[in-house]
Structures are given as structure tokens and as C-alpha cells.
């Protein structure tokens, strides 16, 4: 009976430690899982678009241009309000490959995220969304596309580190035809109903990345705008996104913490057994 009591006491002592470790590690494991899923989605998009005949690609891009030419800036709305979360619309069908219209690569923060059409919550919980009412992300003068994503989700990074971007940083958007590069030229924090900064500017090719701010409060919108920047294809390939770099660093820290914890636990256990004897 005494033996079982000792075992029970040890389990009671160890259980909170195990639970604490689980709580600490879960977000990291979950983020790595979804980042792996994003990488697979990106590869799937790349493979699928390479199998589309060039004539079909041009026809679909032309349809997207026609759509962009019909846009009414007055209809733009905040993507994080319930009125705007209406699900995936037919407006971007011409660009879709397996429900994705492309993906965005942000080397500065090591993120590569699939893009879907729309800003429904189910989309923003999963990946980045294209804001309906803004230009489809195909480039061209007189276009301004808005790509939005959440920040601060426990299981995905998405735009969590968007505030780390600075003027001059590059990001890339890949659609069914090509990869377009944009250089950050403006960073603003605005009210949720202020859309003046995402309107089309004649002769300009802009993409704005949008997310909620401040972190955890979400009372305003962070707008990181990029202007089209011509980068040779070879240089684009050099702009590789190391999506697992952040996670590797965290894994190292956790591994070190586990070693310290294991050593501390072993020393404590030996001293306790010695004391009991």
C-alpha cells in the first residue's frame, strides 16, 4: 500500500510537468504541421499550373483583366466585418486551381501562403484571402490588389510577423501565369473603414497586404503596400523562403529547455530518494 502511495505521489508531481510541456509544444507542432500543408499546397499549385496550356492561361488572364476593368472602388469593404464574409465568390474562378488563385511569398518573415478568393472566416482561418472588390493579383497598370490574412493564430503564423516588413523589402505573388514581385513602399495603420489607401491609382501597379493591429487588440488595420518591381527570374529564384527557419530555432530552444529540465528532474529525483532512505 505504501508503495502505491509513493507511485501516486510521483505521478501527481510529474503530471503537471508533462501537461505544461504539452501546452508549450502544441502551438509549435501545430504551426509546423500547417506550414508543411502550405508547402504541399504551393507545390500542388505549381505542378497544376505547369500542365495548363499556355493559350488557356492567356484566356483566363484576359478574363481577369476584364474583371479588373469593371471594378467599382466604392464597393470595397473591411474584410474582417461580418457583412464582407460571404464565402468564396465566382469572381475569381478564372484564376483558380483547386480553389487557390495563387500564393504569396514573403522572404523577410519566411512565409509562403496559398491565396484563395474571398475573405470568409473559413478562408482566413486557413490561408490568405483576396479581398473582393480589389484588383485580382495579375499585375498591370491601374491595378491595386489587397491580400489579407489573420495574425496571432496559435496554430498558424500567416501575417503574424507582417509588422516586421520595412520599406524596400520584397514579396512575391504567383498566379497561374507568372510570379510578380513587389517592393514595399508604404506602411500605414488605419481605421477599419478607411479604404482610401487601397484604391486604384492610375498607372500604378500595387498590392497591399492587410491584417489586424495592434496584436491581440485588432482595433485597426495594418496596410503594407508594395509597388511592382521588375526582378529577373533568376533573382526571384534566389529569393527563397525558408519556411522552417523560425521553427528550427524554436525547436533548438525547446530541446535545450528539455535537457535542462531532464537534468534538474534527475538530480531532484536522486536527492529525494536519498532523503527517503
Asked whether residue 277 is domain-assigned, the answer is no
- Domain extent, residue 33, equals 6-243
C-alpha closest to that of 150 among 162, 158, 138, 142: 158
212 is catalytic: yes
Question: What pLDDT tens digit does each residue of the chain (277 aa) get?
Answer: 555 555 555 556 666 666 766 676 777 777 777 788 888 999 999 999 999 999 999 999 999 999 999 887 656 767 766 544 443 446 788 999 999 999 999 999 999 999 999 999 999 999 999 999 999 999 999 999 999 999 988 888 999 999 999 999 999 999 999 999 999 999 999 999 999 999 999 999 999 999 999 988 999 999 999 999 998 777 766 666 666 666 666 667 667 767 777 776 677 666 666 665 5
Asked whether residue 191 is domain-assigned, the answer is yes
Asked whether residue 168 is domain-assigned, the answer is yes
Asked whether residue 204 is domain-assigned, the answer is yes
130 is catalytic: no
Asked whether residue 251 is domain-assigned, the answer is no
Residue from 130, 144, 150, 172 carrying the catalytic annotation: 150
Q: State the CATH number of the domain containing residue 138.
A: 2.40.260.10
Domain count, the chain: 1
Asked whether residue 119 is domain-assigned, the answer is yes
138 CB-contact burial (10 Å; exposed 0-12 / middle 13-18 / buried 19+): buried
Asked whether residue 264 is domain-assigned, the answer is no
Asked whether residue 129 is domain-assigned, the answer is yes
Amino acid at each position: 500500500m505504501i508503495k502505491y502511495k509513493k507511485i501516486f505521489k510521483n505521478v501527481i508531481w510529474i503530471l503537471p510537468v508533462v501537461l505544461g510541456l504539452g501546452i508549450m509544444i502544441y502551438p509549435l507542432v501545430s504551426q509546423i504541421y500547417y506550414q508543411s500543408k502550405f508547402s504541399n499546397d504551393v507545390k500542388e499549385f505549381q505542378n497544376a499550373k505547369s500542365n495548363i496550356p499556355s493559350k488557356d492561361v492567356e484566356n483566363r488572364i484576359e478574363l481577369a483583366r476584364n474583371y479588373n476593368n469593371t471594378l467599382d472602388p466604392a464597393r470595397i469593404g473591411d474584410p474582417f466585418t461580418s457583412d464582407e464574409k460571404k464565402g468564396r465568390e465566382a469572381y475569381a474562378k478564372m484564376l483558380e486551381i483547386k480553389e487557390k488563385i495563387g500564393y504569396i511569398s514573403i522572404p523577410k518573415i519566411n512565409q509562403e501562403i496559398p491565396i484563395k478568393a474571398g475573405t470568409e472566416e473559413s478562408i482566413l482561418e486557413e490561408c490568405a484571402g483576396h479581398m473582393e472588390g480589389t484588383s485580382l493579383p495579375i499585375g498591370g497598370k491601374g491595378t491595386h490588389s489587397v491580400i489579407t490574412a489573420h495574425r496571432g493564430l496559435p496554430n498558424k503564423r500567416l501575417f503574424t510577423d507582417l509588422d516586421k516588413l520595412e520599406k524596400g523589402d520584397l514579396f512575391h505573388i504567383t498566379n497561374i501565369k507568372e510570379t510578380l514581385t513587389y517592393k514595399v513602399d508604404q506602411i500605414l495603420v488605419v481605421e477599419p473603414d478607411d479604404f482610401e489607401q487601397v484604391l486604384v491609382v492610375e498607372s500604378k501597379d500595387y498590392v497591399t497586404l492587410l491584417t489586424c493591429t495592434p496584436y491581440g487588440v485588432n482595433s485597426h488595420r495594418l496596410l503594407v503596400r508594395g509597388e511592382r518591381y521588375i526582378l529577373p527570374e533568376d533573382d526571384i529564384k534566389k529569393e527563397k523562403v525558408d519556411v522552417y527557419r523560425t521553427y528550427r530555432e524554436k525547436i533548438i530552444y525547446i530541446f535545450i529547455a528539455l535537457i535542462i529540465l531532464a537534468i534538474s528532474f534527475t538530480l531532484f529525483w536522486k536527492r529525494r530518494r536519498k532523503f527517503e532512505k
